[in-house]
Amino acid sequence: MQGKHGTQNNKKKKISTKYNIMKRILMTPQSTPRESLYLETGIVDISTQLEINRINKYANMIKQDENLYTGLIQESEPTKWLQHTKKIIDKYNITHEDLNIRNKTKRKHTIKNKITQKFRERMRTNGKEKSKVQHHISRQIHYPDKKPRYISNLNRQETSLIFRARTRMLDMKENYKNKYTDQKCRKCQNAPESQKHILEECEVIHQTDLTKAREYEIHSNSLTLNKKAAKNILIILDKLKK
């Protein structure tokens, strides 16, 4: 049998594996902050998903036996499984009313929303010292606190380009300050090589407005604007390499 430390190590490995798989799917660098990854995609980590599954299982159980809830609250010799379940219920402020919603779909939605919201708050707190995460959070005021449409509707390359642009993971000097010896734009040499400068302002790259990938297009909820921005970002990155 595995001990407590063995179980924790396995959980950490699963969390790390899911994180790495998400980065591969999105074709984003290894240095991508996990907070930005989860906040942008609307996905939760393995540990949080297991908590959602546990509470849903418990809600189904008390539908069949109300004494389970009474025993849990009164702590009349609850099992270790029930003890841990109570900690999760308290952690996410899940009420008896939430657990007893008659409609199963609505109940699962309520439980998932409560847990997911806390998870996202935790990601924002964990990323408060990371500039890329803070930049990303500041831009999230432009769209709802859920998975953006582009992730489910654009092709893999388009999705990757929009994701990297939203999270400032495109390979530009200001985004990777430790990678380059100076911060001057490698094309015009007249301004710092920020993401905005490269995507919208550099006169050497942009002979016409048609090649620009504007910030409002990148952060828009419009798939048409997202597609346009992704197409231009690809062209811009190719010009930047030459």
- Estimate the share of the chain in helix, then strand, then coil, as percent rounded to the nearest 5: 65, 0, 35
Contact 206, 212 (CB under 8 A): yes
Torsions phi, psi of 192, nearest 5? -60, 145
Contact 25, 37 (CB under 8 A): no
pLDDT tens string 170-188: 999 999 988 999 999 999 9
- Residue 1 counted as domain residue: no
Q: How many domains does the chain have?
A: 2
**Greatest distance between any 2 Cα atoms in the chain:** 75
- Domain-terminating residue out of 142, 175, 199: 142
- Report pLDDT for 197: 97
Range of the domain at 190: 149-241
Domain match, 128 and 155 both:
no
What is the residue whose two structure tokens read 């418990």?
58
- Report pLDDT for 1: 45
CA distance 56 to 117: 16
pLDDT bucket at 82, cuts 50 / 70 / 90: confident
pLDDT tens string 94-104: 998 999 898 99
Chain mean pLDDT for the chain: 87
- Residue 6 counted as domain residue: no
- Residue 5 counted as domain residue: no
Domain match, 76 and 92 both:
yes
pLDDT bucket at 18, cuts 50 / 70 / 90: confident
pLDDT tens string 125-152: 999 999 889 888 887 654 556 788 999 9
- Domain-terminating residue out of 108, 142, 176: 142
Domain match, 113 and 194 both:
no
Domain match, 34 and 128 both:
yes
Domain match, 135 and 171 both:
no
